[in-house]
Amino acid sequence: MSGFAAVTGANGFVGSNLCDTLMSRGWKVRGVVRPSSNLKWLNTDRVEVHKCRLESGEQLDNALRDVDVVFHCAAQTSATSLSELMRSNRDATQAVAHSIAKNNGGKTKLVLVSSVAASGPGKRGVARKPEDPCTPVSNYGFSKRAGEIVASEMSGNLPVIIVRPGPVYGQRDMEFLQLFRTLKHLRLNPIPGYVSPSLSMIHVDDLVDILIRAAEHGQAVQGDPETTQGRGYYFAAEPDPTSLAEFGNRIARALGIKRIRNIKIPLFVANGIATSSELWMKMWGRKSNLTRDKIREASAPSWAVSPLSTLRDLNFGFPLPMQERLNQTIHWYRAEGLL
């Protein structure tokens, strides 16, 4: 299948990789980006770029008009307040959904890129399923779940498919880059708390493939968002969970490092550092993922999820193991002079 897709947040880590893969598969792509966006990763020779804010209005309507699918990738992962995250992750999603329903008469699909944080953590040793009740623990998780709900509420007017990725790594990712650098130069792997949670992670190439398959073959959300029984929700994550400690060991092997040291940081120390980081963010208007909100996520017992419905419904299989994906990621970082 190919068609015409609009991608919000098209200049970002996931969005730019999605645009590249869509075009390689014969899709026509319109990239929807904020006016101040850096377009470094976006192929502006082939992507039709629309610059607009994700809020109700004629500009957004024009950006999302006459397409087959809207992939809503734009999001904010960290902030110093819940209200800021709600504006970016709930209100923008609502504006996108309403614009599609208003202008395209239910003919356009909405594929919402959510997060496992919207589902919430689970018990250690038990992988969460899409039909499990949502119990987010972070402001980010609350805002992403709120985005899912406002999108689901429009399911009577347009097909809505929700994809929940685990932590995403790969080419063009700047968030995990700092961990790669710390392991390379200091041989240290900092872990908040005393026990590393289980993590279901995913490489960006696999996530992009799942997003496209969701648009082509995914079931749409139906009914009340609290009683969907998992229909229309897909976890995008590798079937074998890892941990922060094991992930660090895997990165070290890919870097050719024989031994690293896992440093367990007491939560009161991690929260103190995060508080200082938030003050720095407020003073200088900078962004950072070192916040108390992220410490809450990192100290949860488990972020393991089951991708079985994704593998079944979307006919998806992981083509490469995590270790090979990490090798690819490091190769890209080195080629770009980042590592």
251-273 mean pLDDT: 82
Closest-CA residue to 236 (of 115, 120, 139, 144): 115
- Model confidence at 89, pLDDT cuts 50, 70, 90, reads very high
CB 313 within 8 A of CB 219: yes
Instruction: Report the alpha-carbon distance of residue 221 to residue 97 in Å, rounded.
Output: 13
d(CA 152, CA 233): 10
Least confident of 63-67, 159-163, 283-287: 283-287
pLDDT at 224 exceeding the cut of 70? no
Mean pLDDT of 290-305: 80
Distance CA 26, CA 53 (A): 27
| Per-residue pLDDT at 61 | 94
What is residue 80's predicted lDDT score, i.e. its pLDDT? Answer: 76
Residues 63-78 have pLDDT tens digits of 999 999 999 999 998 8
- On the question of pLDDT at 271 being above 80, the answer is no
Q: d(Cα 339, Cα 335) in Å, to the nearest integer?
A: 8
Binning pLDDT at 50, 70 and 90, where does residue 225 land? Answer: low
Tell me which range, 49-58, 261-270, 275-284, is most confidently predicted by mean pLDDT.
49-58
**Among 116-125, 263-272, 300-309, the least confident range:** 263-272
- DSSP letter string over 8-76? ETTTSHHHHHHHHHHHHTT-EEEEEE-TT---TTS-TTTSEEEE--SSSSHHHHHHHTT-SEEEE----
Query: Is the separation of the CB atoms in 66 and 100 below 8 Å?
Result: no
Q: Which domains does the chain have, with CATH numbers?
A: 4-169+200-240+303-320 (3.40.50.720)
Per-residue confidence (pLDDT) for residue 286, from 0 to 100 = 64
178 neighbors 239 (Cβ within 8 angstroms): no
Q: What is the pLDDT of residues 92-146, one digit of tens each?
A: 999 999 999 988 777 899 999 999 999 999 998 899 999 999 999 999 999 999 9
Q: Which residue has the higher pLDDT, 111 or 226?
A: 111
